[in-house]
Chains A and B, each alone.
Chain A
Amino acid sequence: MLAMPSRHRSLALLLFMLAAQVLLLAVQIRSPAQVRLIRVWAVEIVAPLGRVAAWTTDGIGGGWSHYVALRHLRQDNEELQAEVDKLKLRNAQLEGRAAEADRLATLLAFREAHAEVSTLAARVIGGSPDSGSHIVFISRGSRDGLRRDMGVITPEGIVGKILAVFPDTSQVLLLNDRESGVGALLAGSRTQSPVRGSGDPLLGMEYVSNDVKISAGEAVLTSGQDRIFPKDLPVGTVVTAKPDPHSPFQQIFVRPAAHLDRLEEVLVLLSRQEFVPKKDAAAEVANTPGPAAATPSPRPASQPVDHP
């Protein structure tokens, strides 16, 4: 046993006796919260140790859960990411098919509503490589009976006319091309005037006298004078109409009724037979979900026009 020097023994005894008396005091004294001081000290000593123990436990547990247990996380993540990419692609395909089904349903409803008019459905398969001309190619050609200058429409409105016919495809000149034009009239006043493409999204309506009162939103319909489109098919709606002080005619801009910038399926008019109004069919078209129903049209394609 190690011998302790007398001086150190005295010092150790002093510290022991002092500690004992301090503890004795702590047992008797109560804190302001009426808790014995010895308890306060015990808690203050033990609590940090408890926190350290908890921190250590959390650290070990965290290390296990974040590193050890997840060592295959990268591989799993890559596999899941690939799965997500596949599902996204699949979802996009399904959404596209659903939208296509909606559009085809609208076309079908339109055709059924106007069974007396001979039409042929076609799919838009390409556009013009020249950004200056507004031309699309459709999936029908001369083998299907198509000829030059046949009208092309959608349930929303007219699209353009066939410019060139090939055995299995045809080239369609859209309504907003600079070279395009259609005989039209204002639905309200029945004032006739050709509508021409300008190369911009809006069409121009020419030769309407300054005396004619035109309001924004007024419908523009085909007049049937161009020998391409039957009467009263929607061409578009008036956006602005301003009298020109340097000309006897107004400057009128028309927004096309058909969505010329996102055509996917169209109908080719095989004859110039007039569309017969059918209320039930028109209602059916209006209730059909899809672009036709969602797009406000100045007047349904088959709605009769009041002639003056």
Chain B
Amino acid sequence: MEIRIAGDQHIEVHQFYAGVLTGAVLLTLVLEAFLLVHFRWADLIELPLLVTIYFALSRRNPSGGLLLGMIIGLAQDSLSHTPIGYYGIAKTLVGFFASSIGSRIDVEHPISRFMLTLLFFHFHNAVLVLTGRLLLAQHQPYLTTRLAVASVVNASLALLLFPLLDRLRRRP
């Protein structure tokens, strides 16, 4: 664990074993594709978003967070039929803001993780809807019951997934 001092605050920047980040991203994308094919309910789950949020919160570097979000989003766009940049823009913003928030508040507590995941899920969705309306002439709603359920499902999944990913951190 690396400790940096900014003013009077002690900021913990977690480091991971080599290949963890790359492996997690690839695994997430594969799992997302696999689950979507075999399970109808899998479309409620946004695993790439959860990975983006987790690593952005953990690394607490806005530049790194936005680059990570952009790469995951563009990879997601590449594997789907959406225009390249559609998910990229949304996850770039999520990565940036998650990293910024991660450097200011406690993101280790389960409640914090649940609330932040819930918040970023809706933010991610809002950016997608806005991009769709402004650039793609789509008229998706900002909030539906399904979206609300999906946000709770993903926030709950984050409570399970994030501790697993915590185990991949490099110990000081």
Contact at A14–B85, with CB atoms within 8 Å? no
Interface residue B88 (Cβ < 8 Å from any Cβ of A) = yes
| A25 CA / B85 CA spacing, docked (Å) | 6
Partner of A24, one of B61, B62, B84, B96: B84
CB-CB contacts below 8 Å: B33-87 with A: 61-63, 66-67, 70, 74, 83-86
Assembled-state Cα–Cα distance A19/B84 (Å): 13
B25 proximal to A (CB < 8 A): no
Contacting residue for B63 out of A13, A24, A25, A26, CB 8 A = A13
A9 beta carbon closer than 8 Å to chain B:
yes
- Alpha-carbon distance A11/B93, docked complex (angstroms): 11
Bound Cα distance from A22 to B93, whole angstroms: 13
Contact mask for chain A residues 84-123; partner B; CB cutoff 8 A; 1 contact, 0 none: 0000000000000000000000000000000000000000
> Are B137 and A17 in contact, CB atoms less than 8 angstroms apart?
no
In the assembled complex, which residues on chain B have CB atoms less than 8 Å from the CB atom of A22? 85, 89, 135
Closest to B100 in A: A10
Cβ–Cβ < 8 Å partners of B74 in chain A: 21
Chain B proximity of A39: nearest CB distance (Å): 14
Whether A24 contacts B85 by the Cβ 8 Å rule is yes
Q: Which of A1-45 contact B (CB under 8 A)?
A: 6-7, 9-11, 13-14, 17-18, 21-22, 24-26, 28-29, 32, 37
Known A-B contacts A9-B63, A10-B96; A29 and B136 likewise in contact (beta carbons under 8 Å): yes
Q: Check A14–B92 contact: CB distance below 8 A.
A: yes
Size category of the binding interface on chain A: 10 to 19
Q: Are A25 and B86 touching (Cβ within 8 A)?
A: yes
Given A9-B63, A10-B63: A32 touches B92 (CB 8 Å cut-off):
no
Residues of B close to A25: CB separation below 8 A: 83-86, 89, 131, 135
Chain B residue, CB-CB nearest to A9: B63
Are B89 and A18 closer than 8 Å at their CB atoms? yes
**Smallest CB-CB separation from B95: which chain A residue?**
A14
Interface centre among A17, A29, A37 (most CB of B within 10 A): A17
Measured between beta carbons, the chain A residues less than 8 angstroms from B89 are 18, 21-22, 25
Contact A21 B70 (CB under 8 A): yes
The 9 A-B pairs with the shortest beta carbon distances in the complex, nearest first, are A10-B62, A21-B85, A25-B85, A24-B85, A28-B83, A10-B63, A21-B88, A21-B89, A14-B96
14 further interface pairs, Cβ-Cβ under 8 Å (given A10-B96, A14-B93): A6-B63, A10-B62, A14-B66, A17-B70, A18-B93, A21-B89, A25-B84, A25-B89, A25-B131, A26-B135, A28-B84, A28-B85, A29-B136, A37-B135
